Amino acid sequence: MAAEVRIPSLLRGQVGGSRSIQASGPTVGHALDDIEARFPGFKERVIDPNGTIKQFVSIFINGEDVRYIQSLDTPLQDGDQVSILPAVAGG
């Protein structure tokens, strides 16, 4: 399954500056593995050492937060749009 993954500006340096890339896999986790295979170091910016989505990162499929679906096991369909959103703080 090929999905479009939208990359936030904070992570674009990890993927050669691209705003979005194509990723393949039956689930969100597999799509992240696909990105990691092409852009080593990307996954550690999104996934913690325990293998779960980092606390201050949200991943959405077609506008729905995967934490409320099946997290990294959320299935992907061809053409799905995945958005990765790291929290940004300031003051």
pLDDT, one tens digit per residue, over 23-78 is 999 999 999 999 999 999 999 999 999 999 999 999 999 999 999 999 999 999 99
- What's residue 91's pLDDT? 60
Which contacts qualify for 43-51: CB closer than 8 Å, 24 or more apart? 45/11, 45/14, 45/86, 46/11, 46/84, 46/86, 47/72
The predicted model scores a pTM of 0.91
Q: Go through the domains of the chain in sequence order and give each one's CATH number.
A: 2-86 (3.10.20.30)
User: What's the rounded Cα separation, in Å, for the pair 83 and 64?
Assistant: 9
Q: Is the pLDDT of residue 1 over 80?
A: no
Which pLDDT band, with edges at 50, 70 and 90, does 87 fall under? confident
